[in-house]
Structure 1
């Protein structure tokens, strides 16, 4: 998000009364604000303290923020509570992510960092209302990654927990950089490329929705230096060099290898440009982490976030000068700042790569800190009339959301299959089959016969693609939840949760609690990851 764009962006808490509640009634607000949180209720608040913890390939960081809530609907209408302001009150410095070895995260080391930063921020676990723990990049593949995340999340508050595979990492980075919002505001297609230490995570956004993802093993730490010598070459890069007829070995002196290092840097930049244009030859294929680029509509613009994105921004605005790639390679080879690697040379190559010439370069609103700063409860509804639930299916917690727009003029069945496949790639890279919620748009205001036709499509596709035993969770954008739920049941989809009039989208998480009223009404909370933007930091 750049400049004024950050002020326009709000993170919404949409609280709606159940059918039959009088408009303007304030009595249910206290109940609606009560969210089941680790066995206790969170009372209604006008502000929340949220913490974001991000463990990446190269760095670990923590951000503490205050979210201010307000009813923006007025006193005579159904309350609409929005996060109208967020203030970063503390940022930790960037720490090198502590590792015991190549396969294990140093859990004690991470704990020491966080305990020290909590003290510096002037907060305790009891002060935290909500938050998010995201583990990304190569760190997410360590043997004890999941245990570390759960250990951190269990220590305080109602945390959204995500061990982000490369696809989810790319989407989160694209939201944090402002790419998703830019695509929505400009009605265009943009690729956000988040380049850190180990990977380049690409997420394509078109008109405010995720259209595709892809990840390449391109990052600053694919080659590392120590005292003027090549210390490490990543295994993926070694295989890639065989395909591209290049050679580099640990132990080689950088001053004797500088031309080869710049060739490697330039070729990596060219491969990245090729993937954005969906040109995937043998060199690009060697760099793929998972699936090839899966978008249909090519981007017409691109942003770069992550550590390398910050370096690109510095090169472009003149705050970091360099006359050549060779100059930067020699400088980094002798660096003692913890980042003696190819990050800066790669940034230089990306700035000068001609294959990007047909794409408009959009400055990212955030680069090195395009990170999660927490999670706010975004919406809640208690309504018996608009919820269809199979007995024994609740509660559901931290169910990720994918947006789907139903277009009867297109090929809705194929479109739905593609969205579900994308959701599995993003949220279930390990094949564990967790539930997935669909935020369905395009059915509001349609005739009942149209709903029946759509229900046949949904029932057919979801019946085939849903993980065994998991309910279909649908979040409707209009007042069609009850009617569409009935149509789905009639079409044969019995395991169903159908909610309406709630705003949710890609990257949100939904909690659905057990019934709280005799009518069978259930509390539903939609949580969004609140992403850092370029705002003033107030330190305590």
Structure 2
């Protein structure tokens, strides 16, 4: 098979900004002439980075879908490509934008602008994973054998992803960002978030919507927000507002953090000098400056990020085509399935035993809940190379109990195991499910959090399922 080149797009709709990246991917078959094809990306080249615009809104709770379509069309034209040239890509909606009432309508509006789209409205936990991978935090954790946390400080939220090697061992999110206070060009305050208003009221700060403000007047507020970010990784005296600013949950443990990376728009304000503190019409520059002189930089090793403001832009879906062999279990009529996000349990949680595996699945399923709606996911575990029957029972029980919320809502239960044990595990899980429950268990497929998977119609007399793992390539 000759090398194949495909054009891919990534679009990130964040709280503050919207941006687009075009990438050319080279696909190569690495298998020998007499082997089953093993196709991987051999090269990724970013060929176009769009300008970064403020995410267009009709109102505080509604995205302007038409303006986003216009932006994408304009950027395609600037790049000299037609939308029909795009073969695959991803749209990721993150931060406060994911909470807008018409976020799903926006992804529909963009459906004509790419071929095989991975589309995800990322909840706060999933955004933490995506941003951390985009910042290269997982690679740093693997390189230095350290626990490294990425703090993605965006417009509306700060997302934390704690990595041990490639494993995401914890996530958190806080409603702290650069655009929770907005100003017009005259430094007149135009917006204050509800939680920030609580600090202003408590501390009698002279900051009001409609009133001109200054760096001096904003400093006590910015310092408090900076303290909250420091608190998220266990540094500094605890702010009385810490709990108020938790979006979903804090990190479970902060005493095992060896290093830190920063991404998001505010990270640019940490690393670059800005003469005008109100350059972006918000408090992002002030917050970046405060973070740069905070305990994080004095008490932790701060690693440079691969990306800052573009960390969450998804460059492309890199397709690794594979097949899963004879040890499979699946319900008839359920296939094919496309664009299913992967929920992978960390290795140490899996090795800690049945209860740990169960609670990890239960907690991570919440990552894929947006606007109180649970999305379909595929559960991934490593499994065991030579499992005993008791091990199979424990895995099956932990998966059934951990995935109770999925099962109660009638969502398909899809389990992916790295080791060759899907037949035995699948039989055991299926025997514990309601009759005729939609279920698939496959093995010998390697996936990670942040990946998406396609499962095709069975071939070879039903003994083999074609599998496409789409690894989001961050640009």
Under a length normalisation based on structure 1, what TM-score does the superposition of the two structures give?
Answer: 0.80
In the alignment, what sits opposite 2:190?
Answer: 231
- Aligned counterpart for 1:512 among listed residues 450, 455, 464: 455
Q: Distance in 1 between matches of 2:67 and 2:332?
A: 44
Secondary structure of the residue aligned to 1:514 is coil
Judge conservation of contact 2:341–2:450 (CA < 8 Å) in 1: yes
Q: Deviations over 1:232-274 (max 9, x none)?
A: 322221013334554421243334xx33311221221111111
Q: Distance in 2 between matches of 1:78 and 1:472?
A: 28
Secondary structure of the residue aligned to 2:241 is helix
In the alignment, what sits opposite 2:284?
Answer: 343
Secondary structure of the residue aligned to 2:163 is strand
In the alignment, what sits opposite 1:241?
Answer: 200
In the alignment, what sits opposite 1:122?
Answer: 80
1:272 to 2:229 alignment: yes
Structure 1 residue 411 displacement after superposition: 4.2
Structure 1 residue 398 displacement after superposition: 2.0
1:431 to 2:431 alignment: no
1:503 to 2:446 alignment: yes
Mark the CA change 1:57 to 1:189 in structure 2 (over 3 Å): closer, same or farther: same
Mark the CA change 1:247 to 1:220 in structure 2 (over 3 Å): closer, same or farther: same
Q: Distance in 2 between matches of 1:462 and 1:423?
A: 10
1:154-173 aligned at under 5 Å gives the runs 154-173=112-131
Mark the CA change 1:221 to 1:449 in structure 2 (over 3 Å): closer, same or farther: closer
Secondary structure of the residue aligned to 1:254 is coil
Mark the CA change 1:498 to 1:378 in structure 2 (over 3 Å): closer, same or farther: same
Q: Distance in 2 between matches of 1:245 and 1:413?
A: 51
Judge conservation of contact 1:266–1:353 (CA < 8 Å) in 2: no
Secondary structure of the residue aligned to 2:45 is strand
- Aligned counterpart for 1:72 among listed residues 30, 40, 59: 30
Q: Distance in 2 between matches of 1:342 and 1:263?
A: 12
Instruction: Name which structure has the greater RCO, CA cutoff 8 Å, separation 6+.
Output: 1
1:253-264 aligned at under 5 Å gives the runs 253-255=212-214, 258-264=215-221
Judge conservation of contact 1:133–1:162 (CA < 8 Å) in 2: yes
Mark the CA change 1:500 to 1:204 in structure 2 (over 3 Å): closer, same or farther: same
- Aligned counterpart for 2:468 among listed residues 514, 522, 525: 525
Structure 1 residue 65 displacement after superposition: 0.5
1:362 to 2:319 alignment: no
Secondary structure of the residue aligned to 2:366 is helix
Structure 1: runs of 5+ lacking an equivalent: 1-28, 30-43, 315-319, 322-327, 533-540
In the alignment, what sits opposite 1:332?
Answer: 277
Mark the CA change 1:107 to 1:490 in structure 2 (over 3 Å): closer, same or farther: closer
In the alignment, what sits opposite 2:332?
Answer: 391
Secondary structure of the residue aligned to 2:277 is helix
Under a length normalisation based on structure 2, what TM-score does the superposition of the two structures give?
Answer: 0.90
1:112 to 2:70 alignment: yes
- Aligned counterpart for 1:220 among listed residues 163, 174, 178: 178
Q: Distance in 2 between matches of 1:241 and 1:360?
A: 33
1:13-52 aligned at under 5 Å gives the runs 46-52=4-10
Q: Distance in 2 between matches of 1:369 and 1:418?
A: 33
